[in-house]
Amino acid sequence: MLRPAAENGHRMTLTCYNDTHGYGWRHVDLFVHDAEGWELNWVHWQVPEDGPEAADAVTAEVEPLLRRTSEWRHGTSASGMDFWVADAAWEEA
């Protein structure tokens, strides 16, 4: 069972990317946002490949109690980099 949203309105999102510019740093970010949407904190881990499928696979290994609770939403940055964002929550142990 997933924990309900905190009373203070905090929410978490996962973000993954395409290495469009060839920086060689493929990763997934886990962001914590307040009720107004401001970023409060973040942590990241590396993935071997670009995109959502790799992000899901590695997240299941790195954080087995973290669940994606929405579909991945695609976006493109101003520099042309593809990225995906999904909502996330901790599962009860």
CA dihedral 58, 23, 80, 13 (to 10 degrees): 30
Distance CA(55)–CA(81), nearest Å, equals 16
pTM of the model: 0.85
Spans of all domains in the chain: 11-70
Burial class (CB in 10 A: 0-12, 13-18, 19+), 17: buried
pLDDT at 23: 87
Average pLDDT over residues 3-13: 70
Residues 6 or more apart whose CB falls under 8 angstroms from that of 51 comprise 16, 18, 84
Average pLDDT over residues 59-76: 96
Average pLDDT over residues 29-38: 92
Average pLDDT over residues 47-70: 95
pLDDT at 25: 83
